[in-house]
Amino acid sequence: MEVSPRAAILIARLFEQATGQTLSQDRFWRIGTTLTPFCRTRGIDSIDQLAMRLGQGGDSTLSLDTIDALLNNETSFFRDPGVFSLIGDELLPRIAAHRQREKRIRIWSAACSTGQEAYSLAMMFADQAERWAGWRIEILGSDISRSAVEQARSGLYSQFEVQRGLPIRQLLAWFDHVLDTGWRAKPQITAMVTFTRHNLLGPPPAGGRFDLILCRNALLYFSPERRHQMLEGLALATAPDGAMLLGAGETARDSSSRFVNDADMPMVYRPAAYASISNAA
């Protein structure tokens, strides 16, 4: 479907108001690509008609569904295997060394989409059940997309979704085959994971600070001002001796003074206050 400039601007403005994410003009093509099938399934004749209905207000469900459709929910199990090797080989041993007394680890998978990253983390712990016996593992997955969070909570994935990054051994160990539907995560891993709808520009989730935060490929969608705002919230949610892991093409250096790069791991950031104390010691 064709999209008039006026309709594209209105939809982009509503999207930014709801999510904080900037849909710049060079990405307006996503409006037509994404919302054409969306309109067809809802019997809306054109994207211009959709924009008119959104502009009139009064249909909150249509607004929420439109925003959900525009959100980028691209994800997969064990996305970027090198990152998970880094977590398993470097970050978790360091965290465990600092948490021997309480034997509790809290991890936040921020902007988790449909939950594959959070479940991948849970499988890492489940695969080493003897190593983590007696530990309390809490993994929070959050996303602004209502539909993505609903699927994550269900733990149900299609054959196509599990084939993207999930080794057959872990699929058979930690998922049950559901006839004609796909695969559902087993209680052994769902017990470690909680999902919630959360806007990264809002206050951090309740429940205390996190030892590790994964926020990969989310900064890319925000303006510099909103990146700063988001990182301020992430800093408040990070334990003083914790860590934040960003995507390979992202950096916190230009947007916040609350984090500093880990000297050994380029994608990992530490709270600046703790890092200065550690370096002084």
Give the distance, in angstroms, between the CA of residue 122 and the centroid of all CA atoms in the same chain: 15
pLDDT value at residue 124: 98
pLDDT value at residue 281: 43
pLDDT value at residue 220: 87
What are 252's two structure tokens? 């916190």
Q: Look up residue 241 and give its amino acid.
A: D
Q: Residue ranges per domain, the chain?
A: 5-70, 81-280
Encode the chain (281 residues) as per-residue pLDDT tens digits: 788 989 999 999 999 999 999 888 888 888 999 999 999 999 999 999 999 999 998 888 999 999 999 998 889 999 999 999 999 999 999 999 999 999 999 999 999 999 999 999 999 999 999 999 999 999 999 999 999 999 999 999 999 999 999 999 999 999 999 988 899 999 999 999 999 999 999 999 999 999 999 999 999 889 899 999 999 999 999 999 999 999 988 888 888 889 999 988 889 999 997 655 455 44
Per-residue HEC secondary structure of 156-200 comes to EECHHHHCCCCCHHHHHHHEEEECCCEEEECHHHHCCEEEEECCC
Give the distance, in angstroms, between the CA of residue 137 and the centroid of all CA atoms in the same chain: 18
Task: Please give the CATH topology (third level) of the domain spanning 81-280.
Answer: Rossmann fold (3.40.50)
Place of tokens 């030892």: 211
